[in-house]
Amino acid sequence: MARKVSDTRRWTFTILAWGVALAIFFPILWTILTSFKSEADAIASPPKFLFFNWTLENYAEVQSRSPYFRHFLNSVIISVGSTLLGLLFAIPAAWSMAFQPAKRTKDLLMWMLSTKMMPAAGVLIPMYLLFRSSGLLDTRIGITVVLMLINLPIITWMLYTYFREIPGEILEAARMDGASLGKEILYVLTPMAVPGIASTLLLNVILAWNEAFWTLNLTTSKAAPLTTFIASYSSPEGLFYAKLSAASTMAIAPILILGWFSQKQLVRGLTFGAVK
Amino acid sequence: MATRHQKTLARFMVAPSVLLLLGWMIVPLAMTLWFSFQSYNLLSPGMEQFIGWTNYKYFLSDPAFWQAMTNTLLIVIGVLVITVGGGILLALLLDQPIMGQGVVRILMIAPFFIMPTVSALVWKNMFMNPVNGLFAWVAKAVGAQPVDFLAQYPLMSIIGIVAWQWLPFATLILLTALQSLDSEQMEAAEMDGASAWAKFTHLVLPHLSRAITVVILIETIFLLSVFAEILVTTNGGPGYASTNLTYLVYSQALLQYDVGGASAGGIIAVILANIVAIFLMRMIGKTLE
Amino acid sequence: MGSITLKQVRKAFGEVEVIPGVDLQINDGEFVVFVGPSGCGKSTLLRLIAGLEDVTSGQILIDGQDVTHAAPAKRKLAMVFQSYALYPHMSVRKNIAFPLKMAGMDAAEQDRRVGHAAGILNLTDYLERRPGQLSGGQRQRVAIGRAIVREPSAFLFDEPLSNLDAALRVNMRVEISELHKKLATTMVYVTHDQVEAMTMADKIVVLRAGRVEQVGSPLELYRNPANRFVAGFIGSPNMNFLEGEVASRMGAHAIGVRPGHFRMSTSDGLLPGTVGVAEHLGSDTFLHVDLDGGTHVIARAEGEFPVHHGDRIWLTPQEGRIYRFNDKGLSL
C-alpha cells in the first residue's frame, strides 16, 4: 500500500536527486560536448556549454592521426574473445558445482575468488618476460588469454549463482523423461540458463573492455585496445581537449550503452548473487 | 545427491578451470619468487646470480616502499570511505519517491562504465588542469587562486578520481539491497514508535550490512591494484607522492629494468594482499552463507 | 504391468546410513503410500526406485527385471515432483510432450496423446500457456499429464500436494485417487500427511529413520498398529498415550486411546480432569483436557457436548478400544 507523499517532499527529493545525478554525470557530459567543439572553443574562458559551433572535425582527425578503428576492433576482439573463452571453461565448471556439489565446492569457489585477490604486480614481471620471450607481447591472442584468466573466477562465480537458481528437480524430471545428458543440457538447461549466460557475457565484456593494467603493460600498438590507445593521449595530445574528448567519447560510448542495458544484472552479477 | 556416474563427470568438468587458475597462480608466482632472490637487471643480461635476501633488504629499506605502502592503503581506505558513505546517502535519496527515477539511475551509474584511462585523462586535463581546467575557471570566477591539484594534492586527486568511478557501483548495489527491505518491517517499527534515525540504525543499516560487505570486498579487490589512473595522471609523482605498490613494482621493473628488486616488491604486494584477503574472506564467508 | 520389488535396499551418504536395508513388495496396480515424519527416508526410498540415486547395496526389481543399475529413463517410471519441476520455457503442450519427444515418437502420435491427457486433466484450454501463467493446481495437473502420456508401468509421486493450499489439496487428492481408478496403474506416493495416506492408499508403508515400521492397509494400521510410533502417527487427532498407574493396572507400560474412544461425563468416570480449550465445531466437540495426573489428552465427542474452559470432566476409555504397549513401545 503506497502512502500518499506530500508534494513538497516529492519535489525536494526530485530536485536533489537530479542535482546529484547531473553532478556525477557532468564529466561525461562535458567530454561529449567538448568533442564537438573546435580546439579554441574547448579551452575558451568562460567555458562554452551549448552555444558554440558544433563540428565533427575532431572525430575525423582522431581517425586520421591514428587508426582508431583498429584499436576499437582490438577492444572488441579482446573483450568478447576473452569472455567467450572464459565461458567455455566456466560453463562446465559452474554446471557441476551447481548441480553436483561436493563437500569442497564452497571452498573451491572461495579459492577461485581468492585468485582475483592476487595483486597483478606479483605476477607482472614473469608474465612480461614470458610474453617477451615467446613473442606474445603486443599480440591479441596473448592479451586475450590473460584477460580470460583474470575474469575466469568472476565468470565461474556468476554462472554458478545463476545455475543454482535452476531447480535441480527440473533436471531430474528431464532425466526421468528419458533425456540423455546431452539432451538435458540442450533442451532444458541451456534455455533456462540463457538469461544468466547472457548477463555474464555482457558484464565480462564490460570488465574486459575497461581492463587497464594488463592491456597497458602487455600491448603497445599492434594489438593495443582502446585503453592503451587513450593512454597515449596522456601527453602532449591531451592538451588538445577537443580531440581528446572525441577519442574518449568513441572509446566509452559502446560500453556505456551496453552498461546501461545491463545495470540490473550488474548488481547481482558483481555481487555473486549476494545482492539481488 | 546423484549417481556415481554423474559425480565422476562433474569432477571432470571442473578440472580444466581449476588447472588453468592453478597454473596462472603458481607458475608466475614461483617465477617471481625465484627472481626476487636474484640480481637480475634487463639492462645487463647474463649477469643473473643468487643474492639471497638482498633485494628484500634493499626494497624494504627504500623509503619509496613505505610511502607506496601507505599510499596503497590510503587509496583503498579513502575510496572505500567515500563510496560506502556516499553510496548509502545516495541510495537513501534514490529510494525516495522521485520523478524520473530511471533516468537518474542511468546518469548516476554511468561513471562505472568509463574506462580508467579515459576518466583519468578527462579529470586531469579538462577539470584539474591549473590553466584550462574547469576547476581553475571556477576558482578564477570566484576570485581565488587556481589549484594545481595533481601537483599539490596528487594522492587526494587520485582518490577523488577513483572514488568517482566507484561511487555509482556502491550506490547501485546499496540501492538494490535497500529496495529489498521489507516495508512491513518499517511499518511495524513505525507502529512501535521508532524515529527516522532509529529506523535507520536498527533496521536499514543491519539490512544493508551484507551489501556493504560485498561492496567492500569487490572494491578492495580492484582498489589494491589501482594502476592506470596513476600512470596517466601523475606517473606516481611528484617524487613518490602518489605511487602505490602496484605502480612501484611496475616502475622498478619496466622503467628501471630491475627485475630482482621489482620481484621482491611483487612478493611483498602478494603478502599484503593476502593479509587483506584473509580478513575479507572471513567477512564474506560469514555473510554470504 | 508394474510390480516393484525391493530386496535389502540400503543407502548411505558417506558414513551416514539413511536406509539401513528395506525389503518391500509393491504389486501391480496398487496405490502404495510411503508415510513418515520428515527425514524418515521416504523421499530417498522413492528416488532410489526412480534411479535418481544409486543404491549402496541391495536390489531393485521392476516387473521381475533387475534395474538396480539402470538409468532413470530405462525404468519406465514417471515421477511427479514436489515442486512440479515443469520446464518454465516450454508451453504446457511442450511440457507434456517432452518425454514423448525424448522417446522419438512421431508428431501425430505425440499430439494425440497430449490431447488425450489434457482431456483427462481438464487442461485442454491451457495447452499454449507457459507454466508461469498457471495456478498451483493447474501446474500440478500438467506435471501429472507429463507423467501419464508416457504410459509408464508405475507413477512415483514425491509429496505432490504439499505446495497447494488446503482446499485445493483435498480436491487434488480426490482427482489423483480417481486417476488411479481410471488408469489402474501402480502408484507410489510419498507424503508426511497421514490423512493423505489414509484416504488414498491401498497399502501404507510407515517409515521411521529409514526403517519400515509397518506395512498394511489403512484400516489395518488404524486398528492394529504394530507399535506406539505407528499408533501415534496414524489417526487424527493423534492417539493419546497414558503411562504410569492406569497403564500398569491394565498390565502394560503404556496405553493408547484415540480421542473418539472416550466416554465423557461431567459427574463420574475413570480419569478426572479439567477442560482447557473446548472446540465446538457443531458436528464434533474437541476437548483439550488436563488430567489430574498432569497428562494432557484430547477427547472427541460427537455432536454438541456442553462444557467450557475450567469445567471438571471425567473420561473413561471404551472397553475393547484400548491399545496396550510394552516398555519397548511394541503392541501387546
Tally Cβ neighbours within 10 Å of residue C306: 10
CB distance from C78 to chain A under 8 Å?
A: yes
* Residue whose cell numbers read 546410513: C17
Say whether the peptide bond before residue C259 is cis (omega within 30 degrees of 0): no
All 3 cell numbers of residue C172? 487434488
Can you give the pLDDT at residue A95? 85
Q: How far apart are CA B60 and CA C256, in angstroms?
A: 81
* Residue whose cell numbers read 519535489: A11
Can you give the pLDDT at residue A1? 42
Q: Going by C-beta distance under 8 Å and a sequence separation of 6 or more, which residues neighbour residue A174?
A: A183, A184, A187, A188, C87, C98
Query: Do C114 and C32 belong together in one domain?
Result: yes
Q: Is residue A77 part of a domain?
A: yes
**pLDDT bracket for residue B85 (50, 70, 90):** very high
**In DSSP terms, which residues pair with C271 in a beta bridge?**
C315
Closest partner residue to B173 among A10, A217, A275, by Cβ?
A275
Residues of chain A positioned with their CB less than 8 A from the CB of B112: 259, 266
Say whether the peptide bond before residue A46 is cis (omega within 30 degrees of 0): yes
Q: Say yes or no for a CB contact (<8 Å) between B121 and A238.
A: yes
Q: How far apart are CA B87 and CA A46, in angstroms?
A: 33
Residue to mutate among B3, B4, B6, with most C CBs inside 10 A, is B3
Residue to mutate among C48, C53, C79, with most A CBs inside 10 A, is C79
Query: Do A49 and A91 belong together in one domain?
Result: no
CA dihedral over A23, A27, A32, A35, signed as positive or negative: positive
Can you give the pLDDT at residue B24? 84
**pLDDT bracket for residue B82 (50, 70, 90):** very high
All 3 cell numbers of residue C241? 498415550
Q: Going by C-beta distance under 8 Å and a sequence separation of 6 or more, which residues neighbour residue B150?
A: B124, B128, B157, B233, B234
Can you give the pLDDT at residue B1? 44
The alpha-carbon gap from A141 to the nearest alpha carbon of chain B, in Å, equals 16
Can you give the pLDDT at residue B2? 57
pLDDT of residue B218 exceeding 60, the answer is yes
CB distance from A20 to chain B under 8 Å?
A: yes
**C112-130 tens-digit pLDDT:** 999 999 988 889 999 999 9
**8 A C-beta contact, residue C161 and residue C125:** no
Indicate the average pLDDT of chain A.
83
Q: Say yes or no for a CB contact (<8 Å) between A178 and C102.
A: yes
Torsion, CA C22, CA C27, CA C32, CA C35, rounded to 10: -10
Q: Say yes or no for a CB contact (<8 Å) between C52 and A167.
A: no
DSSP A74-125: HHHHHHHHHHHHHHHHHHHHHHHHHHS--TTHHHHHHHHHHHHHS-HHHHHH
CB distance from A117 to chain B under 8 Å?
A: yes
E-assigned strand segments in C70-202: 77-80, 154-158, 186-191
Please report the ipTM that was assigned to this predicted complex: 0.85
pLDDT of residue A220 exceeding 50, the answer is yes
The alpha-carbon gap from A116 to the nearest alpha carbon of chain B, in Å, equals 7
CB distance from C216 to chain B under 8 Å?
A: no
Q: Are strands C284-291 and C271-280 parallel, antiparallel or unpaired?
A: antiparallel
Query: Do C24 and C169 belong together in one domain?
Result: yes
**In DSSP terms, which residues pair with C61 in a beta bridge?**
C5, C66
**8 A C-beta contact, residue B87 and residue B256:** no
Q: Is residue C45 part of a domain?
A: yes
Q: How far apart are CA B216 and CA A45, in angstroms?
A: 41
**B123-133 tens-digit pLDDT:** 988 888 877 78
Q: Is residue A13 part of a domain?
A: yes
Query: Do C161 and C189 belong together in one domain?
Result: yes
Query: Do A131 and A180 belong together in one domain?
Result: yes
Can you give the pLDDT at residue C59? 92
pLDDT of residue C93 exceeding 90, the answer is yes
Closest partner residue to A172 among C52, C88, C146, by Cβ?
C52
More confident: A241 or C31: C31
Residues of chain A positioned with their CB less than 8 A from the CB of B100: 14, 18
**pLDDT bracket for residue B246 (50, 70, 90):** confident
> Of the candidates A244, A228, A28, A68, which has an alpha carbon nearest to the alpha carbon of residue B121?
A244
Q: Is residue A1 part of a domain?
A: no
The alpha-carbon gap from B150 to the nearest alpha carbon of chain A, in Å, equals 14
Q: How far apart are CA C190 and CA C192, in angstroms?
A: 7
Q: Is residue C29 part of a domain?
A: yes
- Domain count for chain A: 2
Query: Do C227 and C205 belong together in one domain?
Result: yes
Helix (H) or strand (E) run with residue B28 in it: helix B4-36
Q: Is residue A42 part of a domain?
A: yes
Query: Do C275 and C218 belong together in one domain?
Result: no
All 3 cell numbers of residue B127? 577539470
DSSP three-state, residue C200: helix
Can you give the pLDDT at residue A236? 66
CA distances from B161 to B82, B120, B219, C136 (A): 11, 7, 14, 53
* Residue whose cell numbers read 567538448: A34
Helix (H) or strand (E) run with residue C97 in it: helix C92-102
The torsion angles phi and psi of A165, rounded to 5 degrees, stand at: -80, -10
Residues of chain A positioned with their CB less than 8 A from the CB of C79: 172-173, 176
Q: Say yes or no for a CB contact (<8 Å) between C54 and B1.
A: no
Query: Do C228 and C275 belong together in one domain?
Result: no
Residue of chain C with shortest Cα separation from B5: C54
Q: Is residue B45 part of a domain?
A: no
**B95-119 tens-digit pLDDT:** 888 888 888 888 888 998 999 989 9
Query: Do A35 and A71 belong together in one domain?
Result: no
- Domain count for chain B: 1
Residue of chain B with shortest Cα separation from C51: B3
pLDDT of residue B289 exceeding 80, the answer is no
DSSP 8-state secondary structure symbol assigned to residue A239: G
Q: Which residues of B10-20 are buried (b: 16+ CB within 10 A; e: fewer)?
A: beebbeebbeb
pLDDT of residue C92 exceeding 90, the answer is yes
The percentage of chain A sitting over the pLDDT mark of 70, rounded to a whole number, equals 94
All 3 cell numbers of residue C29? 496396480
State the first-to-last Cα distance of chain C, in angstroms, to the nearest integer.
39
Residue of chain B with shortest Cα separation from A110: B281
DSSP three-state, residue C308: coil
Can you give the pLDDT at residue B237? 75
Torsion, CA C43, CA C48, CA C52, CA C57, rounded to 10: 140
DSSP 8-state secondary structure symbol assigned to residue C36: -
CATH number, domain containing residue C259: 2.40.50.140
CB distance from C13 to chain A under 8 Å?
A: no
Residue to mutate among C44, C48, C53, C81, with most B CBs inside 10 A, is C53
The percentage of chain C sitting over the pLDDT mark of 70, rounded to a whole number, equals 100
DSSP 8-state secondary structure symbol assigned to residue C54: -
CB distance from A182 to chain B under 8 Å?
A: no
Query: Do A26 and A47 belong together in one domain?
Result: yes
**8 A C-beta contact, residue C121 and residue C45:** no
Residue range(s) defining the domain that contains residue A38 = 7-59
The alpha-carbon gap from A90 to the nearest alpha carbon of chain B, in Å, equals 7
> Of the candidates B65, B62, B68, which has an alpha carbon nearest to the alpha carbon of residue B225?
B68
Query: Do A75 and A147 belong together in one domain?
Result: yes
Residue range(s) defining the domain that contains residue C129 = 4-232
Q: Going by C-beta distance under 8 Å and a sequence separation of 6 or more, which residues neighbour residue A96?
A: B9, B10, B11, B13, B14
What's the mean pLDDT in B7-34? 84
Q: Is residue A80 part of a domain?
A: yes
Q: How far apart are CA A165 and CA A170, in angstroms?
A: 11
**pLDDT bracket for residue C300 (50, 70, 90):** very high
Residue range(s) defining the domain that contains residue B160 = 50-287
**In DSSP terms, which residues pair with C9 in a beta bridge?**
C22
Q: Is residue C331 part of a domain?
A: no
Amino acid at B153: Y
Mean pLDDT check: name the lowest of A186-195, C28-37, C308-317. Answer: A186-195
Q: Which of C179, C199, C232 is the last residue of a domain?
A: C232
**pLDDT bracket for residue C155 (50, 70, 90):** very high
Query: Do A26 and A72 belong together in one domain?
Result: no
Query: Do A51 and A72 belong together in one domain?
Result: no
Q: How far apart are CA C317 and CA C264, in angstroms?
A: 9
**In DSSP terms, which residues pair with C279 in a beta bridge?**
C286
pTM: 0.78
CATH number, domain containing residue A187: 1.10.3720.10
Query: Do C178 and C247 belong together in one domain?
Result: no
The alpha-carbon gap from A214 to the nearest alpha carbon of chain B, in Å, equals 10
Q: Is residue C132 part of a domain?
A: yes
Query: Do C59 and C183 belong together in one domain?
Result: yes
Q: Tell me the residues of chain A between 210 and 249 that have a Cβ less than 8 Å away from chain B.
A: 210, 212-213, 216-217, 226-228, 230-231, 233-234, 238-239, 241, 244-245, 248
**A181-193 tens-digit pLDDT:** 788 888 888 888 8
What's the mean pLDDT in C275-296? 89
Q: Tell me the residues of chain C between 3 and 42 that have a Cβ less than 8 Å away from chain B.
A: none
Go through chain B and tell me how many residues it has.
289
Q: Going by C-beta distance under 8 Å and a sequence separation of 6 or more, which residues neighbour residue A114?
A: B277, B281
Helix B63-94 to helix A7-34 angle (10° resolution) is 130
DSSP 8-state secondary structure symbol assigned to residue B52: T
Query: Do C223 and C246 belong together in one domain?
Result: no
CATH number, domain containing residue B92: 1.10.3720.10
Residue of chain C with shortest Cα separation from A190: C89
Reported as half-sphere exposure (CB side, CA atoms, 13 A), residue B213 has a value of: 20
Q: Is residue A238 part of a domain?
A: no
- Domain count for chain C: 2
All 3 cell numbers of residue A70? 583498429
Q: Say yes or no for a CB contact (<8 Å) between A178 and C73.
A: yes
Q: Say yes or no for a CB contact (<8 Å) between B2 and C51.
A: no
Q: Is residue A44 part of a domain?
A: yes
Q: Is residue C330 part of a domain?
A: no
pLDDT of residue A12 exceeding 50, the answer is yes
The alpha-carbon gap from A84 to the nearest alpha carbon of chain C, in Å, equals 24
Can you give the pLDDT at residue A115? 79
Query: Do C201 and C271 belong together in one domain?
Result: no
Query: Do A55 and A71 belong together in one domain?
Result: no
The percentage of chain B sitting over the pLDDT mark of 70, rounded to a whole number, equals 96
pLDDT of residue C180 exceeding 50, the answer is yes
Q: Which of C212, C232, C252 is the last residue of a domain?
A: C232
Query: Do C276 and C318 belong together in one domain?
Result: yes
**A111-140 tens-digit pLDDT:** 887 777 777 877 888 888 888 888 888 888
Can you give the pLDDT at residue C240? 92
What's the mean pLDDT in B74-101? 91
**A77-93 tens-digit pLDDT:** 999 999 999 998 998 88
CB distance from C151 to chain B under 8 Å?
A: no
Q: Which of C211, C232, C253 is the last residue of a domain?
A: C232
CB distance from A270 to chain C under 8 Å?
A: no
Q: Is residue A43 part of a domain?
A: yes
Chain B residues with at least one Cβ partner in C under 8 Å = 1-4
Query: Do C226 and C246 belong together in one domain?
Result: no
Residues of chain C positioned with their CB less than 8 A from the CB of B3: 51-54
**pLDDT bracket for residue C294 (50, 70, 90):** confident
Q: Is residue B165 part of a domain?
A: yes
Indicate the average pLDDT of chain C.
90
The torsion angles phi and psi of A274, rounded to 5 degrees, stand at: -75, -25
Residues of chain C positioned with their CB less than 8 A from the CB of B2: 52-53
Interface partners of A (3+ CB pairs, < 8 Å)?
B, C
The alpha-carbon gap from A152 to the nearest alpha carbon of chain B, in Å, equals 8
CA distances from C161 to B29, C80, C172, C208 (A): 56, 10, 7, 21
What's the mean pLDDT in A206-221? 86
Mean pLDDT check: name the lowest of A119-133, C212-226, C307-321. Answer: A119-133
pLDDT of residue A104 exceeding 90, the answer is no
